[in-house]
Amino acid sequence: MSNVHAVGSTSEDTATTEDTATTEDTATTEDTTEPIVSVENLRVSLGGTDVLHDVSIDVPEGRLVGLIGPNGAGKTTLLRAINGTVSIDSGRVTVAGVDAATCSSRRLARLVATVPQTTTLSFGFSVRETIEMGRHPHISRFGAMDDTDVAAVESAMAATAVEALADRSITDVSGGERQRVLLARAVAQETPVLVLDEPTANLDINHAARTLELVRDAVTSEALSGRAAIAAIHDLDLAARYCDELVLLADGEIKAYGSPEAVLSAESIGSAFATEVAIGTDPVTATERVVPRATVPAGAADTDCYVHVLGSGMLARETIARLAETGCSGSVGPIPTGDIAAETARLNGFSIVDAPAFRSLSMTVKDRVRARCQESDAVVVTEAIDSWQRRLLAGLDCETIAVSGGPTQSTEGSPAGNADSVDHRCSVEELVGELFDRDET
C-alpha cells in the first residue's frame, strides 16, 4: 500500500463522514485568510526527549519552504507533525484552518500529501496504479474511481512527466523516475499542502534538480494553484536555488527563518552545522552557495603565515584555496573584480586588491599591492609578470616563490614569474608543504 497518504483512512470513518469532510475541507480552504500551514509554539518529544520546542512557522499559498539543518535537528519530526503522524506535546498545527491533531486521518489526507524519504513498493504495481493510490482519500470505502479521479491522475502524470512510464512496473523504474512517480502520486492527491522528506536524497544532480523543479511548478503553476510545499532538503545549494523561504533547525529550535539570502549566512550555517563555511554566489543561478571550509591539519589553524598571491585566473584560484586549507591568511592582486580567483579569495577571507581589467594600473593600486607584499611572509607569483612587478619583487625582503601548474603538472608547465625575479619555483602542492613545514619549525 502506498505511503503517500500515510495519514489514510481509519475503520471508524463512514461514507457520511467522508462526504461531510469533503464539503468542509473545500469551504475551509476557500474562505480562510490564514496561511495554508500554521505551526504555533510546537513542542514534540519522542522517548522522553525533546525533539522540537517552541517552533512556529507560517506557510502561505504558492510558496516552497525548505527545512534545512544537521541530522537530528527535527526536520522530519516537524513534517510528521504537519501531516499528523506524530503526537504533539503542546502547541498547535493547522492546515487550511483545520487542527491537524484533532481532525480524522481521512480528512487530513485530503489536506496533506506526503512524499516520504523512503518507501517500500515491492509489489508489481504499475506506475499508473501507484499514482492512483493518491486518490484513495477521495474515494468512499466501497467506491471506485470516477472521471474526476481519472482526470486527476492524468493531470498529475503530465505535470511530473511520467506518462511514458504509465504501464511499467514501479519496481523496474530508476531511482530518479521513482521519485517522480511518488511526487505524481502526491500531486494526484489534490491537497493544498505537499510535504516532502528529503526528496533529493540518493539522487544524482540531474534528477535532484528536476525533482525540485517539479515541486516548485506544483505550487506556482496556475493549473495547480492554491498549494504550498514544505520540504526537508539536505543540499543547501539546491535549497537556496528553489525555495522561497528557508527554516534552519538545530537542536530542535529554529535558528533562522526567512529568505535564502537571509538564512544562509556563514554565522548561522556554521553554528548550526558546527563547521566553518563560506557563503558565495553561484555564477549561473545567482543564488547563494555554501562552501564548507576544509578541516586543516593539526595546529595549522594557529599559523601566523600571511601570503600575498600575485596573479589571477585558475592557478591563482587553486593556490588561494590550498593556502586557505592549511590555515594561511593572505591577499591577492592586482586582480579584476570578476576574476574567478577573486571569488575564491573572498570566500576564504583573503583581502583583494582589485583593478579594472585591460587597463594600466593606477598608482593607488600599485601602492596597495606593494603594501600587501611588504607585510607578507611570502609572495607567491602565479603568472608571467611585467617590468613593474619585477621591480616590486626585487625590492622585497620576504621570500618570493613562483608556482607552476597544478599538483599533477610539472613546474615547467606555466610561465609564472621570471627566472631572475623569484627565489625559486615549485608546484602548488610543494608550496603548501613548504609553508606548512616552515611554520611548524
Per-residue pLDDT tens, the chain, 441 aa: give them: 333 333 333 333 433 344 434 444 443 434 444 689 999 999 999 988 999 999 999 999 999 999 999 999 999 999 999 999 999 999 999 999 999 999 999 999 999 999 988 776 667 799 999 999 999 999 988 788 899 999 999 999 998 989 999 999 998 888 888 889 999 999 999 999 999 999 988 788 888 898 999 999 889 876 666 789 999 999 999 999 999 999 999 999 999 999 999 999 999 999 999 988 888 888 789 999 998 875 544 444 445 789 999 999 999 999 998 888 888 899 999 999 889 899 889 888 899 999 988 888 999 999 999 999 999 999 999 988 889 999 999 999 998 999 875 433 333 344 444 445 788 888 888 887 777 666 555
Domains along the sequence of the chain with CATH: 15-291 (3.40.50.300), 300-440 (3.40.50.450)
Element housing 309 (H / E): strand 306-310
